[in-house]
Chains A and B, each alone.
Chain A
Amino acid sequence: MPSDLTATAAPAPPGPLRAFWRAFRGNRGAVMGLVVVSLIFFVAIFASVLAPHDPLEQFRGFSKLPPFWVKGSDPRFLLGTDAVGRDMLSRLMYGARVSLFIGLAVMVVSMLAGVALGLAAAFFGGLVDVLIIRVMDLIMAIPSLVLAILIIAIIGPNLTNTIVAVTIVGLPRYVRLVRASALAELTKDYVTAAKVSGVRKFRLMTVTVLPNCLAPLIVQAALGLSDAILEAAGLGFLGLGAQPPTPEWGAMLADTRDLMISHPWVMAFPGLAILTTVLAINLMGDGLRDALDPRLRRS
């Protein structure tokens, strides 16, 4: 036996983050989505620095200007102006801020509420479980936008209430997901072991079980972000979301119908912004899902 063959340690297995990144990186679409989403976030955060004009300022005598590649455009307004002479590019940039803010707020609140309700349903069982699941079923029985409209009708249309309505509408998916994964974890040996060793219920819920339910929850959060943005834009379009003159993409589309034929770009840009954002987040979400948990499949 040759003595110079010292046992070399097997390469350390990649950490979970590394493994995730390796899987995510292999998905071209997901990486593209991530790049676009990062760009949109960048624009949203630095809108006040990047935007050439105030999104609310109306430039008299400069209304309905076309974007730069069309004849008759003004170099000061790269993407033209809307019906009352506000700079389209600036409004779109600030709109990114509004849409992402709504989306992220909905996502964070849904995650917190979803985890709390889902864990409660799984751990306490019995009446608590039945009650929570029944209420979630009820929410799911009413078509999302119809329920959101009903909620807005009661609490009034504005930005905060949009977040409330969209959160309630999307909540069942989070609750059911957390409940289902927690129930699945509860049957496993490590939970029994923890119970036997005297871990308290609250600690068992949050420290022992919750981390093992996170992968599907993260995927759901990414996809929930794009759903929330779409839903909020739909409400804005119906006049039940952010109110004018807030530069919200959906609301920007609402009053373009009369201009649609003569000045199509006023209508084209906000919609394109919504589509790009949602598409990029979905691409990223698909990649996340494949990398984190290949078993999860979204229709």
Chain B
Amino acid sequence: MVKNHPQMMNNPHVTSPVGGFDVWRVRQEFPILKETVYGKPLVYLDSAATSQKPQRVMDAMSHFFLRENANVHRGVHYLSERATEAYENARVKVARFLNAKHANEIIFVRGTTEAVNLVAATFGKAQVGPGDEVLITAMEHHSNIVPWQMLCQEKGAHLRVTPINDAGELILSEMERLIGPKTKLVAVTHISNVLGTINPIQEIVKMAHAKGAPVFVDGAQAAPHLPIDVQALDCDFYAISGHKMYGPTGIGTLYGKREWLDAMPPYQGGGDMILSVSFEKTVYNKPPNKFEAGTPNMAGAVGMAAAIDFVMDVEHHSLVTHEHDVLAYGMAALSTFPGLRLIGTASAKSGVISFVLDDIHPHDIGTILDREGIAIRTGHHCAQPLMNRFGLPATARASLACYNTRHDIDALMAGLAKVREVFR
């Protein structure tokens, strides 16, 4: 595959892997990257929407269905034991990946969105009352806005918003000012899905804890890009999605500090979340089972564990270095493109490049690039308040993952030249 890659032959710079990271070997693990689109090699620059999946994730899930499938936590038979082991091993793997103190601080959910909703429906229900405040930021994804808005409406509480500067960085002094005695929770994204800004979570947590406010972190975009240590961050909740980090859709996890999880009421009612049920009274199970009603997404958990193995195997540190190299190359290249304006120029930034091009609508850019085999996202990226902050209806967004190379940026630049040609 490496030999046949048409772009690779003329470009010597990619043959020397960055920091010992062999991107061409990594690419071979992703069968879909060999696809062609409209007769052109696929250039996938939409990993912030969903990442592609390495073969081993598909293999692990198919192995589960072929060899281990049975319901978890129920049967005394062999297969149920195997399935339970696979599912609980996945939980242990996630706990290690996030450096949680205990595996029982990891709750399996459908994804980050459900994790936010879970915290709003349990923690929020118990802790937030009339006149209280939930503090979010101007760069949140709709999924880290709407559940809090719904909670505040229901409770008669107020949603407060930390502003950002023109580079797309949180204004921390404003945030500090906004955290007060009524702040029951600070909800913040680790990395912005539109701007790529990496927020200083540790600092934010310190600031919030100093005033007694716990912190929820949306880690959907961070998990595939940064090593995460929830103990070092000292955050109270941390949510991730499997599909953004090379795993399957429909699975994610919520990390919660044990003391919160013990105190929170259950999420949904059903099987597995109970110790005993009578028509008069139900005794709830302990965390994490307390929050996992019903038969869980077992194959999804297994797939997510395989994705974590992949990230650990490629070695997180060199992966970060490689991605940063492609990001820096991309930012430098795009900033020279006439009429192009980069949206999100934070000094701490991960693999997202959002831009607008003169008055050409991002949707038109997306359509033209698509015919060149280049997949980018265009639109408001589920962050309409952020778009309003920049006075834009939409942006074009190229987002990176470990398998992207400088070639993909070159292809994007060539594609943008085509866009210019159409709209000249």
A, B assembled together: no
